[in-house]
Structure 1
Amino acid sequence: MCGRCCCTLNPEDVPRACGINASSIPVIQSERYHPSYNVSPGTYLPVVRKERGANSEPVVHSMKWGLIPSFTKKTEKPDHFKMFNARSESACEKASFRRLIPNNRCLMAAEGFYEWKKDGHKKQPYYIHFNDHRPLVFAALYDSWTNAEGEVIHTFTILTTRCSSALEWLHDRMPVIFGDDDSKNAWLSSLPSTKVVGMLQPYEGTDLAWYPVTPMMGKPSFNGPECIKEIQLKHEQSATISSFFSKRELERKITPESQKKSSSKSPNCEDFVKEIASTDNSESFNTPDHDDSEAFEITQAVKKCGTKRVFEQLDDSDGNVLKGVAYHNSLSIMDIASDKSQLPVKRKSGVPNQQTLLSYFGRC
């Protein structure tokens, strides 16, 4: 496929690029052609064709890129993006192109063309050209169409073929490129269609070069030498899940042995709670602000273990609230606290079933 190209050639240089060495060749409607680094369908470009008749001399004719068949209705709005390319494999079968192959063959010259490489949701344009910067010459077909105002408009389409082995990574189609003068002259000659169709093959020469260019040239309004300036692609390294876990595994391997040993000696929470509960009151923490110092001991043990406990209130038969009971992984320490738990906690008068400070912090 070829939907953008670079053509800054002078109309007088086009015949020589197409293998025609005549000293003077007529140029038709050259004022409509404007050199550009970013040419898209609907733009006038110089093409080489041969005059019909006995003389059949070559001429340079500025035509619009994007074929409009002659049988198109005069009142119909032309769409140059519909047929700016024609598949060479099926050109002899479609009415729009089949009737043009015998007598309406032409050549189109340009310094290079652009093709986009798809990368997910992104597209990166590449500029394809010859190593020695000589113009590329494409096989093309032309036609003429008369609009409602009576103006005759000449249009052309570029023939494409399967991509060469060197460019398969970029796209599956490419324009038909004639690399030697013999093939160019044969295409412009009066040879029958059956003999010239076999010439429409991928260009397998090793003198084609390519490089990435700015994505800005995807806009038809973007023009200038910046369109063909080579850029350096930035390959972003995306962190995948596998690489993340690989990094974590590497960090574990390089962890100092001292850290491993210290972490392996962490106290068992259940044993610690039992030890605190079984100790004498003389070993209690300094809790001047707490009435229930033994319960506070259990609370501090819970906090030191770093494990969340759920404290509940139990009422004895007289309606007094017993101190909080902690549950650790479904293991009740009621038995641990029962020997020393007959310490009633007074409720504030007038406020029944008020939560204790211990039970409040125990639920955090």
Structure 2
Amino acid sequence: MCGRYFLHSTADKLTRLFGEMPMPLLQPRYNIAPSQPVPVVRENPVGRREMVLLRWGLVPGWSKGPDPRFSMINARVETVAQKPAYRNALRYRRCLVPADGFYEWRAVDGGKQPYVLRPRAGGVMALAGLWEHWQDANGNELESCTILVRAADAQVRPVHDRMPVIVAPESFDLWLDIHSQKTQPLETLLAVQQAPELQIYPVERAVNRPQNDDESLIEPLERRP
């Protein structure tokens, strides 16, 4: 599961990773939560990359609209190709979700302890995502997204049994290009270890509240005064 993450890298850093493209004005965010607008990288109709803000929590185009009873913030790689909610998006609407790191919660006595997971070498990760377009009878439109998750690798498993699919830069084109002759981009990504070496450490439980959003949330627990 990936239910919270952070992104504070500058536009210059994002451009170096993803290339020149239109992008919205971004502010540092340390507690990005479901239902919030999140930046994603996708290809526009003419095949050029763009960064846009989408609602986190996928709303299928055929649905009646956002339903708070169902949280489609993550799509499991094991079943994404079979689920009606994701099947078309997997074929036609793939995206990358930039993140400097993400949070996971480990079950401990007395509750759950949040952990930060971020690249040990620093830099931005690109999480594999899908997006959808929805429109109601009155013409109101909504674009939304989900993050793909897989079984945790050895470094993440002590904290959580799931983790987001992390896409290496050399695989960006494969994932984003819906016109590629590669018919199984997801299988190709999963066949190669994509996750960088991660720095993993506990943080304060203040991150549990989405209203909290400042740099202190990603400080290691033992460094807090």
Q: TM-score, normalised by structure 1?
A: 0.56
Listed as ranges, the matches of 1:112-191 within 5 Å are 112-147=101-136, 150-178=139-167, 180-189=168-177, 190-191=179-180
Could you tell me whether the CA contact under 8 Å between 1:101 and 1:141 is conserved in 2?
yes
Q: Cα offset for 1:148?
A: 5.8
Q: Cα offset for 1:126?
A: 0.4
Could you tell me whether the CA contact under 8 Å between 2:33 and 2:210 is conserved in 1?
yes
Could you tell me whether the CA contact under 8 Å between 1:47 and 1:109 is conserved in 2?
yes
Distance 1:228 1:166 in 2: 19
Q: Cα offset for 1:167?
A: 1.4
Change (3 A) 1:105 1:193: farther
Is 1:4 aligned with 2:4?
yes
The residue that corresponds to 1:101 in the other structure is: 90
Q: SS of the counterpart of 2:186?
A: helix
Correspondence for 1:21 among 19, 28, 39:
19
Change (3 A) 1:206 1:140: closer
Distance 2:29 2:139 in 1: 29
Distance 2:70 2:101 in 1: 19
CA deviations on 1:201-224 (whole Å, 9 max, x unpaired) are 685656211111001110111110
Identity of aligned residues (%): 30
Change (3 A) 1:186 1:106: same
Q: Cα offset for 1:166?
A: 1.4
CA deviations on 1:174-197 (whole Å, 9 max, x unpaired) are 00001x321122101233574212
Q: Cα offset for 1:12?
A: 5.7
Listed as ranges, the matches of 1:129-278 within 5 Å are 129-147=118-136, 150-178=139-167, 180-189=168-177, 190-191=179-180, 194-198=183-187, 199-200=189-190, 203=193, 205=195, 207-232=197-222
Q: SS of the counterpart of 2:149?
A: strand
Change (3 A) 1:192 1:2: farther
Which structure is higher in strand share?
Answer: 2
CA deviations on 1:143-167 (whole Å, 9 max, x unpaired) are 0112465321110000000000111
CA deviations on 1:255-284 (whole Å, 9 max, x unpaired) are xxxxxxxxxxxxxxxxxxxxxxxxxxxxxx
Change (3 A) 1:217 1:148: farther
Distance 2:130 2:208 in 1: 26
Q: SS of the counterpart of 2:85?
A: helix
Could you tell me whether the CA contact under 8 Å between 1:34 and 1:44 is conserved in 2?
no
Change (3 A) 1:77 1:137: closer
Change (3 A) 1:62 1:9: farther
Correspondence for 1:45 among 38, 46, 55:
38
- Higher relative CO (Cα under 8 Å, sequence separation at least 6) belongs to 2
Q: SS of the counterpart of 1:113?
A: strand
Which structure is higher in helix share?
Answer: 1
The residue that corresponds to 1:57 in the other structure is: 48
Q: Cα offset for 1:64?
A: 1.1
Distance 1:203 1:5 in 2: 21
Distance 2:2 2:172 in 1: 19
Could you tell me whether the CA contact under 8 Å between 1:213 and 1:227 is conserved in 2?
yes
Q: SS of the counterpart of 1:153?
A: strand
Q: Cα offset for 1:91?
A: 0.5
- Alignment RMSD (CA, Å): 2.3
Change (3 A) 1:13 1:151: farther
Where structure 1 has 5 or more consecutive residues not aligned to the other structure, the ranges are: 234-364
Q: Which residue identity lines up with residue 142 of structure 2 in the other structure?
A: I
The residue that corresponds to 1:72 in the other structure is: 63
Change (3 A) 1:193 1:147: farther
Q: Cα offset for 1:79?
A: 3.1
CA deviations on 1:331-359 (whole Å, 9 max, x unpaired) are xxxxxxxxxxxxxxxxxxxxxxxxxxxxx
Q: Which residue identity lines up with residue 188 of structure 1 in the other structure?
A: L
Q: TM-score, normalised by structure 2?
A: 0.89
